[in-house]
Amino acid sequence: MNPQQSLDYLYGLQTSGIKLGLENTARLLEQLGNPQQRIPAIHIAGTKGKGSTAVFIESILRTAGYRTGLYTSPHIQHFSERIQVDRQPIPEAALVDGVRRVKQAAEQLDLPVTFFEFGTALAFQHFVDREVEWNVIEVGMGGRLDSTNLCQGEVCVVTSISRDHESSLGTELPAIAFEKACIIKHPCTVVTAVEAPEVFGVIEDRAHQFDCHLLQLGKDFKVKVRAHAPGEMVFDYESAEGNIEGVTSSLLGRYQAQNAGLAIAACRALAPKGVRLTDATIRTGIANAQWAGRLEIVNTSPLTLLDCAHNPDSLRKLMEALVELYPDRTLRVVLGIMQDKPYRECIEIVAQFAHHITLTRPRQERSLNPADLAGETFPTGPLEIIEDVPQALIANQKQCGPDALVCVTGSIFTVAEAREHIERTCLK
Protein backbone atom coordinates (compact mmCIF):
# COMPACT_ATOMS: atom_id res chain seq x y z
CA MET A 1 0.00 0.00 0.00
CA ASN A 2 1.08 3.56 -0.70
CA PRO A 3 -0.30 6.56 1.24
CA GLN A 4 -3.21 7.17 -1.14
CA GLN A 5 -4.18 3.50 -1.17
CA SER A 6 -4.14 3.49 2.63
CA LEU A 7 -6.45 6.51 2.77
CA ASP A 8 -8.73 5.00 0.11
CA TYR A 9 -9.00 1.85 2.20
CA LEU A 10 -9.78 3.87 5.34
CA TYR A 11 -12.44 5.98 3.68
CA GLY A 12 -13.91 2.89 2.08
CA LEU A 13 -14.81 1.73 5.58
CA GLN A 14 -17.21 4.67 5.93
CA THR A 15 -19.78 2.73 3.93
CA SER A 16 -20.31 0.57 7.02
CA GLY A 17 -21.64 3.66 8.81
CA ILE A 18 -21.58 4.32 12.55
CA LYS A 19 -21.91 1.33 14.85
CA LEU A 20 -21.99 2.05 18.57
CA GLY A 21 -20.58 -0.85 20.54
CA LEU A 22 -17.29 -2.13 21.93
CA GLU A 23 -17.14 -5.81 20.94
CA ASN A 24 -15.41 -5.45 17.58
CA THR A 25 -12.95 -2.81 18.80
CA ALA A 26 -12.14 -4.90 21.88
CA ARG A 27 -11.35 -7.95 19.77
CA LEU A 28 -9.28 -5.90 17.35
CA LEU A 29 -7.27 -4.22 20.10
CA GLU A 30 -6.68 -7.56 21.82
CA GLN A 31 -5.31 -8.93 18.56
CA LEU A 32 -2.91 -5.95 18.51
CA GLY A 33 -1.77 -6.57 22.09
CA ASN A 34 -4.15 -4.09 23.78
CA PRO A 35 -2.09 -0.95 23.08
CA GLN A 36 -4.78 1.20 24.74
CA GLN A 37 -3.82 -0.28 28.12
CA ARG A 38 -0.10 0.43 27.83
CA ILE A 39 -0.18 4.23 28.09
CA PRO A 40 -2.03 6.25 30.77
CA ALA A 41 -4.78 8.45 29.38
CA ILE A 42 -6.86 11.52 29.95
CA HIS A 43 -10.28 10.71 28.46
CA ILE A 44 -12.60 13.53 27.39
CA ALA A 45 -16.33 13.35 26.65
CA GLY A 46 -18.98 16.03 26.25
CA THR A 47 -21.27 17.66 23.72
CA LYS A 48 -19.13 20.73 23.14
CA GLY A 49 -15.60 21.79 23.94
CA LYS A 50 -13.99 18.38 24.19
CA GLY A 51 -11.60 18.96 21.28
CA SER A 52 -10.48 22.35 22.61
CA THR A 53 -10.10 20.93 26.12
CA ALA A 54 -8.02 18.09 24.68
CA VAL A 55 -5.60 20.43 22.93
CA PHE A 56 -5.23 22.57 26.07
CA ILE A 57 -4.40 19.44 28.09
CA GLU A 58 -1.99 18.17 25.45
CA SER A 59 -0.22 21.53 25.26
CA ILE A 60 0.24 21.73 29.04
CA LEU A 61 1.66 18.20 29.25
CA ARG A 62 3.94 18.70 26.25
CA THR A 63 5.19 22.00 27.69
CA ALA A 64 6.00 20.10 30.89
CA GLY A 65 8.26 17.79 28.87
CA TYR A 66 5.99 14.78 28.40
CA ARG A 67 5.63 12.97 25.09
CA THR A 68 1.96 13.19 24.16
CA GLY A 69 -0.46 11.30 21.98
CA LEU A 70 -3.54 13.23 20.87
CA TYR A 71 -6.56 11.52 19.29
CA THR A 72 -9.42 13.75 18.09
CA SER A 73 -12.19 13.60 15.53
CA PRO A 74 -13.35 14.51 13.01
CA HIS A 75 -10.53 16.03 10.99
CA ILE A 76 -10.84 19.17 8.90
CA GLN A 77 -8.69 18.41 5.86
CA HIS A 78 -6.60 15.26 6.29
CA PHE A 79 -7.09 12.05 8.24
CA SER A 80 -3.63 12.40 9.80
CA GLU A 81 -4.92 15.35 11.89
CA ARG A 82 -6.76 12.81 14.07
CA ILE A 83 -3.63 11.04 15.29
CA GLN A 84 -0.81 13.26 16.55
CA VAL A 85 2.31 12.78 18.65
CA ASP A 86 3.64 15.99 20.18
CA ARG A 87 1.13 17.76 17.87
CA GLN A 88 2.73 16.26 14.76
CA PRO A 89 0.22 14.40 12.56
CA ILE A 90 0.97 10.75 11.92
CA PRO A 91 3.59 10.60 9.09
CA GLU A 92 2.75 8.94 5.79
CA ALA A 93 5.09 6.00 6.36
CA ALA A 94 3.64 5.33 9.80
CA LEU A 95 0.10 5.67 8.44
CA VAL A 96 0.77 3.12 5.69
CA ASP A 97 2.41 0.69 8.11
CA GLY A 98 -0.31 1.18 10.72
CA VAL A 99 -3.13 0.61 8.25
CA ARG A 100 -1.42 -2.55 7.04
CA ARG A 101 -1.04 -3.93 10.56
CA VAL A 102 -4.56 -3.09 11.74
CA LYS A 103 -6.04 -4.40 8.48
CA GLN A 104 -4.10 -7.63 8.89
CA ALA A 105 -5.36 -8.01 12.47
CA ALA A 106 -8.97 -7.48 11.38
CA GLU A 107 -8.60 -10.00 8.55
CA GLN A 108 -7.10 -12.58 10.89
CA LEU A 109 -10.23 -12.29 13.01
CA ASP A 110 -12.53 -12.07 9.97
CA LEU A 111 -13.84 -8.97 11.71
CA PRO A 112 -15.85 -6.23 9.97
CA VAL A 113 -14.81 -2.88 11.46
CA THR A 114 -16.08 0.64 10.92
CA PHE A 115 -14.02 3.67 9.94
CA PHE A 116 -13.96 4.97 13.53
CA GLU A 117 -13.17 1.58 15.08
CA PHE A 118 -10.25 1.16 12.69
CA GLY A 119 -8.98 4.70 13.29
CA THR A 120 -9.14 4.27 17.05
CA ALA A 121 -7.10 1.05 16.93
CA LEU A 122 -4.64 2.73 14.56
CA ALA A 123 -4.19 5.64 16.99
CA PHE A 124 -3.56 3.48 20.05
CA GLN A 125 -1.06 1.37 18.12
CA HIS A 126 0.77 4.44 16.79
CA PHE A 127 1.08 5.93 20.26
CA VAL A 128 2.71 2.74 21.55
CA ASP A 129 5.04 2.65 18.55
CA ARG A 130 6.14 6.22 19.29
CA GLU A 131 6.62 5.52 23.02
CA VAL A 132 4.16 8.17 24.12
CA GLU A 133 4.00 8.94 27.87
CA TRP A 134 0.45 10.33 28.06
CA ASN A 135 -2.52 9.84 25.76
CA VAL A 136 -5.15 12.57 25.43
CA ILE A 137 -8.22 10.87 23.98
CA GLU A 138 -11.37 12.61 22.74
CA VAL A 139 -14.57 10.57 22.60
CA GLY A 140 -16.09 10.34 19.14
CA MET A 141 -19.78 10.11 20.09
CA GLY A 142 -21.39 9.56 23.46
CA GLY A 143 -19.01 7.58 25.61
CA ARG A 144 -20.50 4.33 26.86
CA LEU A 145 -20.38 2.57 23.48
CA ASP A 146 -17.68 4.71 21.86
CA SER A 147 -14.61 2.83 20.63
CA THR A 148 -12.33 5.01 22.73
CA ASN A 149 -13.99 3.71 25.90
CA LEU A 150 -11.64 0.75 26.00
CA CYS A 151 -8.91 2.96 27.44
CA GLN A 152 -8.77 3.70 31.17
CA GLY A 153 -8.75 7.41 31.95
CA GLU A 154 -6.59 8.44 34.89
CA VAL A 155 -8.60 11.64 34.61
CA CYS A 156 -12.01 11.70 32.92
CA VAL A 157 -13.39 15.02 31.71
CA VAL A 158 -17.05 15.67 30.87
CA THR A 159 -17.10 19.13 29.33
CA SER A 160 -20.77 19.87 28.76
CA ILE A 161 -24.12 18.24 28.06
CA SER A 162 -26.60 19.42 25.43
CA ARG A 163 -28.63 17.86 22.65
CA ASP A 164 -26.71 16.51 19.68
CA HIS A 165 -26.63 13.20 17.78
CA GLU A 166 -30.17 12.70 19.09
CA SER A 167 -30.86 9.66 16.91
CA SER A 168 -28.05 7.82 18.71
CA LEU A 169 -27.97 9.41 22.16
CA GLY A 170 -31.59 10.39 22.73
CA THR A 171 -33.20 13.73 23.55
CA GLU A 172 -33.30 13.76 27.36
CA LEU A 173 -30.30 15.46 28.94
CA PRO A 174 -29.94 13.05 31.91
CA ALA A 175 -29.87 10.10 29.50
CA ILE A 176 -27.27 11.84 27.33
CA ALA A 177 -25.25 12.59 30.46
CA PHE A 178 -25.29 8.91 31.41
CA GLU A 179 -23.90 7.92 27.99
CA LYS A 180 -21.05 10.40 28.38
CA ALA A 181 -20.41 9.70 32.08
CA CYS A 182 -19.80 6.03 31.27
CA ILE A 183 -16.19 6.85 30.40
CA ILE A 184 -15.84 6.76 34.21
CA LYS A 185 -15.07 3.09 34.81
CA HIS A 186 -12.61 2.88 37.70
CA PRO A 187 -11.28 5.10 40.49
CA CYS A 188 -9.99 8.29 38.87
CA THR A 189 -10.46 12.04 39.04
CA VAL A 190 -13.53 13.39 37.23
CA VAL A 191 -13.58 16.99 36.03
CA THR A 192 -16.71 18.60 34.63
CA ALA A 193 -18.26 21.91 33.63
CA VAL A 194 -21.84 20.57 33.85
CA GLU A 195 -24.02 22.75 36.08
CA ALA A 196 -27.70 21.78 35.76
CA PRO A 197 -28.52 19.75 38.91
CA GLU A 198 -30.47 16.98 37.16
CA VAL A 199 -27.59 16.49 34.70
CA PHE A 200 -24.72 16.97 37.13
CA GLY A 201 -26.38 14.44 39.41
CA VAL A 202 -25.91 11.73 36.80
CA ILE A 203 -22.18 12.43 36.62
CA GLU A 204 -21.95 12.70 40.39
CA ASP A 205 -23.65 9.32 40.86
CA ARG A 206 -21.30 7.66 38.38
CA ALA A 207 -18.26 9.19 40.07
CA HIS A 208 -19.43 8.00 43.50
CA GLN A 209 -20.09 4.52 42.11
CA PHE A 210 -16.39 4.17 41.26
CA ASP A 211 -15.08 6.10 44.27
CA CYS A 212 -13.81 8.96 42.10
CA HIS A 213 -12.70 12.41 43.20
CA LEU A 214 -15.07 14.86 41.50
CA LEU A 215 -14.18 18.44 40.56
CA GLN A 216 -16.86 20.81 39.24
CA LEU A 217 -16.22 24.09 37.46
CA GLY A 218 -17.73 26.94 39.45
CA LYS A 219 -17.52 25.04 42.72
CA ASP A 220 -14.13 23.36 43.10
CA PHE A 221 -12.31 25.61 40.64
CA LYS A 222 -13.27 28.80 38.82
CA VAL A 223 -12.30 30.85 35.81
CA LYS A 224 -12.91 34.58 35.51
CA VAL A 225 -12.41 36.33 32.18
CA ARG A 226 -10.56 39.61 32.62
CA ALA A 227 -10.26 40.65 28.96
CA HIS A 228 -11.74 39.32 25.74
CA ALA A 229 -10.72 41.04 22.55
CA PRO A 230 -9.64 40.09 19.02
CA GLY A 231 -6.29 38.37 19.26
CA GLU A 232 -6.26 37.38 22.92
CA MET A 233 -8.33 36.40 25.92
CA VAL A 234 -7.09 36.81 29.49
CA PHE A 235 -8.54 34.97 32.48
CA ASP A 236 -7.79 34.05 36.08
CA TYR A 237 -7.91 30.48 37.38
CA GLU A 238 -8.84 29.91 41.02
CA SER A 239 -8.73 26.71 43.08
CA ALA A 240 -7.73 25.42 46.50
CA GLU A 241 -4.45 24.19 44.97
CA GLY A 242 -3.50 27.75 44.10
CA ASN A 243 -4.59 30.57 41.81
CA ILE A 244 -3.05 31.48 38.47
CA GLU A 245 -3.76 35.04 37.40
CA GLY A 246 -3.58 36.57 33.94
CA VAL A 247 -3.60 33.37 31.88
CA THR A 248 -3.72 34.18 28.16
CA SER A 249 -5.23 32.21 25.30
CA SER A 250 -5.33 32.82 21.56
CA LEU A 251 -8.46 30.64 21.36
CA LEU A 252 -11.31 33.12 21.64
CA GLY A 253 -14.82 32.88 23.05
CA ARG A 254 -15.58 32.97 26.77
CA TYR A 255 -16.36 29.27 26.60
CA GLN A 256 -12.69 28.66 25.76
CA ALA A 257 -11.75 30.04 29.17
CA GLN A 258 -13.96 27.32 30.66
CA ASN A 259 -12.32 24.68 28.47
CA ALA A 260 -8.89 25.92 29.52
CA GLY A 261 -9.99 25.79 33.16
CA LEU A 262 -11.08 22.18 32.74
CA ALA A 263 -7.68 21.42 31.21
CA ILE A 264 -5.79 23.04 34.09
CA ALA A 265 -7.84 21.14 36.67
CA ALA A 266 -7.35 17.87 34.76
CA CYS A 267 -3.59 18.31 34.49
CA ARG A 268 -3.20 19.29 38.13
CA ALA A 269 -5.15 16.15 39.06
CA LEU A 270 -2.32 14.08 37.58
CA ALA A 271 0.01 15.01 40.46
CA PRO A 272 -0.57 11.64 42.25
CA LYS A 273 0.61 9.99 39.02
CA GLY A 274 3.92 11.82 39.22
CA VAL A 275 3.13 14.68 36.83
CA ARG A 276 4.78 17.85 38.09
CA LEU A 277 3.58 21.18 36.77
CA THR A 278 4.54 24.76 37.53
CA ASP A 279 2.33 27.79 37.04
CA ALA A 280 4.72 28.89 34.30
CA THR A 281 4.27 25.58 32.49
CA ILE A 282 0.49 25.90 32.66
CA ARG A 283 0.57 29.50 31.42
CA THR A 284 2.78 28.59 28.48
CA GLY A 285 0.76 25.52 27.63
CA ILE A 286 -2.51 27.44 27.51
CA ALA A 287 -0.95 30.35 25.59
CA ASN A 288 0.55 28.06 22.94
CA ALA A 289 -2.51 25.86 22.35
CA GLN A 290 -3.82 26.05 18.79
CA TRP A 291 -7.00 24.53 17.35
CA ALA A 292 -8.01 25.13 13.75
CA GLY A 293 -11.58 26.06 12.87
CA ARG A 294 -12.46 27.62 16.22
CA LEU A 295 -13.09 31.34 15.77
CA GLU A 296 -10.10 31.16 13.47
CA ILE A 297 -9.19 34.26 11.48
CA VAL A 298 -8.14 33.17 7.99
CA ASN A 299 -8.23 36.54 6.25
CA THR A 300 -8.07 40.13 7.44
CA SER A 301 -9.28 42.01 4.36
CA PRO A 302 -12.12 41.32 4.36
CA LEU A 303 -12.17 39.91 7.88
CA THR A 304 -13.05 36.21 7.52
CA LEU A 305 -13.42 33.64 10.27
CA LEU A 306 -14.02 29.88 10.31
CA ASP A 307 -15.79 28.05 13.13
CA CYS A 308 -16.96 24.44 13.34
CA ALA A 309 -20.08 25.15 15.44
CA HIS A 310 -22.71 22.67 14.28
CA ASN A 311 -25.60 22.54 16.76
CA PRO A 312 -27.94 25.15 18.29
CA ASP A 313 -26.02 25.63 21.52
CA SER A 314 -22.61 25.98 19.89
CA LEU A 315 -23.96 28.31 17.21
CA ARG A 316 -25.52 30.57 19.83
CA LYS A 317 -22.25 30.76 21.73
CA LEU A 318 -20.39 31.49 18.49
CA MET A 319 -22.76 34.32 17.55
CA GLU A 320 -22.54 35.82 21.04
CA ALA A 321 -18.74 35.71 20.86
CA LEU A 322 -18.69 37.42 17.45
CA VAL A 323 -20.98 40.19 18.64
CA GLU A 324 -18.84 40.71 21.75
CA LEU A 325 -15.54 40.67 19.85
CA TYR A 326 -16.70 42.73 16.87
CA PRO A 327 -19.64 44.85 18.09
CA ASP A 328 -19.39 47.42 15.29
CA ARG A 329 -19.11 44.95 12.43
CA THR A 330 -21.83 43.91 10.01
CA LEU A 331 -22.04 40.14 10.33
CA ARG A 332 -22.40 38.00 7.21
CA VAL A 333 -22.73 34.26 7.85
CA VAL A 334 -22.10 31.49 5.33
CA LEU A 335 -24.00 28.57 6.82
CA GLY A 336 -23.80 24.93 5.72
CA ILE A 337 -25.63 22.50 8.01
CA MET A 338 -26.20 18.75 8.11
CA GLN A 339 -29.79 17.66 7.54
CA ASP A 340 -29.79 15.45 10.66
CA LYS A 341 -29.33 18.55 12.84
CA PRO A 342 -32.26 20.77 13.97
CA TYR A 343 -31.44 23.07 11.08
CA ARG A 344 -34.41 25.42 11.38
CA GLU A 345 -33.50 26.10 15.00
CA CYS A 346 -29.88 26.63 13.94
CA ILE A 347 -30.89 29.14 11.28
CA GLU A 348 -33.23 30.98 13.65
CA ILE A 349 -30.43 31.35 16.19
CA VAL A 350 -27.99 32.70 13.60
CA ALA A 351 -30.67 35.03 12.27
CA GLN A 352 -30.97 36.69 15.67
CA PHE A 353 -27.40 38.00 15.29
CA ALA A 354 -26.47 38.05 11.59
CA HIS A 355 -27.22 40.85 9.15
CA HIS A 356 -27.10 38.46 6.20
CA ILE A 357 -27.19 34.66 5.86
CA THR A 358 -26.09 32.64 2.86
CA LEU A 359 -27.13 29.00 2.95
CA THR A 360 -24.64 26.69 1.29
CA ARG A 361 -24.14 22.95 0.86
CA PRO A 362 -20.85 21.13 1.49
CA ARG A 363 -20.15 18.09 -0.66
CA GLN A 364 -21.39 15.59 1.91
CA GLU A 365 -24.29 13.18 1.71
CA ARG A 366 -25.77 14.32 5.02
CA SER A 367 -25.75 18.02 4.16
CA LEU A 368 -28.96 20.01 4.08
CA ASN A 369 -30.16 20.98 0.61
CA PRO A 370 -30.71 24.76 0.88
CA ALA A 371 -33.32 24.58 -1.88
CA ASP A 372 -35.63 22.91 0.65
CA LEU A 373 -35.77 26.25 2.49
CA ALA A 374 -36.14 28.48 -0.56
CA GLY A 375 -38.66 31.23 0.06
CA GLU A 376 -38.74 30.82 3.83
CA THR A 377 -38.31 34.03 5.78
CA PHE A 378 -36.31 34.45 8.97
CA PRO A 379 -35.55 37.57 11.07
CA THR A 380 -32.90 38.62 8.54
CA GLY A 381 -35.37 38.29 5.66
CA PRO A 382 -35.23 35.78 2.79
CA LEU A 383 -32.19 33.54 2.82
CA GLU A 384 -29.66 33.78 0.03
CA ILE A 385 -28.75 30.39 -1.43
CA ILE A 386 -25.37 29.64 -3.02
CA GLU A 387 -24.86 25.89 -2.88
CA ASP A 388 -21.12 25.81 -3.64
CA VAL A 389 -19.18 26.67 -0.47
CA PRO A 390 -16.24 28.49 -2.13
CA GLN A 391 -18.64 30.50 -4.31
CA ALA A 392 -20.70 31.43 -1.24
CA LEU A 393 -17.55 32.60 0.50
CA ILE A 394 -16.36 34.59 -2.53
CA ALA A 395 -19.74 36.27 -2.95
CA ASN A 396 -19.86 37.39 0.67
CA GLN A 397 -16.28 38.63 0.66
CA LYS A 398 -17.00 40.71 -2.45
CA GLN A 399 -19.99 42.33 -0.74
CA CYS A 400 -18.07 43.11 2.45
CA GLY A 401 -17.53 46.71 3.34
CA PRO A 402 -14.65 47.80 5.60
CA ASP A 403 -16.90 47.39 8.66
CA ALA A 404 -18.14 43.88 7.85
CA LEU A 405 -16.95 40.35 8.61
CA VAL A 406 -17.71 36.94 7.10
CA CYS A 407 -18.08 33.87 9.28
CA VAL A 408 -18.22 30.40 7.69
CA THR A 409 -19.85 27.88 10.01
CA GLY A 410 -22.49 25.18 10.52
CA SER A 411 -20.37 22.07 10.05
CA ILE A 412 -16.80 20.91 10.01
CA PHE A 413 -17.42 19.90 6.38
CA THR A 414 -18.38 23.48 5.48
CA VAL A 415 -15.28 24.81 7.22
CA ALA A 416 -13.09 22.23 5.46
CA GLU A 417 -14.24 23.29 1.98
CA ALA A 418 -13.78 26.97 2.80
CA ARG A 419 -10.28 26.28 4.12
CA GLU A 420 -9.36 24.28 1.02
CA HIS A 421 -10.43 27.19 -1.17
CA ILE A 422 -8.47 29.69 0.92
CA GLU A 423 -5.30 27.59 0.78
CA ARG A 424 -5.69 26.87 -2.93
CA THR A 425 -6.06 30.56 -3.81
CA CYS A 426 -3.42 31.68 -1.28
CA LEU A 427 -6.00 34.02 0.22
CA LYS A 428 -4.68 35.13 3.59
DSSP states of 253-264 = SHHHHHHHHHHH
Q: Are 221 and 357 members of one domain? A: no
The amino acid at 117: E
Average pLDDT over residues 340-351: 91
Full residue range of the structural domain in which residue 271 is found: 3-288
Q: Is 152 helix (H, G, I), strand (E, B) or coil?
A: coil
C-alpha torsion 310→417→148→190, nearest 10 = -40
Closest by CA position to 190, among listed 168, 175, 172, 210? 210
What's the pLDDT at 166?
A: 56
What's the pLDDT at 425?
A: 85
Question: At residue 15, does pLDDT exceed 60?
Answer: yes
In CATH, what number is assigned to the domain containing residue 331? 3.90.190.20
One-character DSSP codes across 339-395? TTS-HHHHHHHHHTT-SEEEE---S-TTB--GGGGTT-EETTEEPEE--SHHHHHHH
Q: Are 392 and 335 members of one domain? A: yes
Cα–Cα distance, 184 to 156 (Å, whole number): 6
Q: Are 306 and 164 members of one domain? A: no
Q: Are 57 and 182 members of one domain? A: yes
Q: Are 317 and 275 members of one domain? A: no
Q: What pTM was estimated for this model as a whole?
A: 0.94
CB 206 within 8 A of CB 230: no
Average pLDDT over residues 279-289: 98
Q: Are 198 and 253 members of one domain? A: yes
Q: Are 97 and 188 members of one domain? A: yes
> 127-171 pLDDT, tens per residue?
999 999 999 999 998 899 999 999 999 999 999 998 665 555 657
Closest by CA position to 71, among listed 142, 133, 140? 140
| Residue 17: Cβ within 10 Å count | 9
* Dihedral (CA of 193, 194, 197, 202) sign: negative
The amino acid at 303: L
Q: Are 125 and 8 members of one domain? A: yes
Closest by CA position to 157, among listed 172, 137, 186, 173? 137
Contacts of 90-97 with CB under 8 Å at 24 or more apart are 90/126, 92/3, 94/126, 94/129, 95/3, 95/6, 95/7, 95/122, 96/1, 96/2, 96/3, 96/6
* Dihedral (CA of 160, 163, 169, 172) sign: positive
> 35-70 pLDDT, tens per residue?
999 999 999 999 999 999 999 999 999 999 999 999
Cα–Cα distance, 215 to 157 (Å, whole number): 10
Name, in order, each residue with C-beta under 8 angstroms of 248's C-beta and a sequence gap of 6 or more. 232, 233, 234, 283, 286, 287
Name, in order, each residue with C-beta under 8 angstroms of 55's C-beta and a sequence gap of 6 or more. 70, 72, 289, 290, 291
What's the pLDDT at 170?
A: 59
Checking DSSP bridges between strand 404-409 and strand 303-306, what pairing results, if any? parallel
- What does DSSP assign to residue 217? B
Checking DSSP bridges between strand 330-335 and strand 356-359, what pairing results, if any? parallel
Q: Are 277 and 305 members of one domain? A: no
Question: At residue 380, does pLDDT exceed 80?
Answer: no
The amino acid at 308: C
Average pLDDT over residues 371-380: 76
In CATH, what number is assigned to the domain containing residue 223? 3.40.1190.10
What's the pLDDT at 169?
A: 62
Average pLDDT over residues 388-403: 94
Domain closes at, from 222, 257, 288:
288
> 73-105 pLDDT, tens per residue?
999 999 999 999 999 999 999 999 999 999 999
Checking DSSP bridges between strand 356-359 and strand 377-378, what pairing results, if any? unpaired
Q: Are 26 and 98 members of one domain? A: yes
What is the count of structural domains for the chain?
A: 2
Domain closes at, from 223, 257, 288:
288
Domain closes at, from 226, 260, 288:
288
Average pLDDT over residues 185-207: 96
Cα–Cα distance, 404 to 334 (Å, whole number): 13
Q: Are 330 and 190 members of one domain? A: no
What's the pLDDT at 14?
A: 83
What's the pLDDT at 17?
A: 61
Which residues pair with residue 153 across a beta bridge? 41
Tell me which of 426 and 172 has the higher pLDDT: 172
What's the pLDDT at 427?
A: 53
> 238-278 pLDDT, tens per residue?
999 999 999 999 999 999 999 999 999 999 999 999 999 99
Cα–Cα distance, 293 to 73 (Å, whole number): 13
> How far lies 48's CA from each of 52, 120, 161, 193, 336, in Å?
9, 20, 7, 11, 19
For all residues of the chain together, what is the average pLDDT? 93
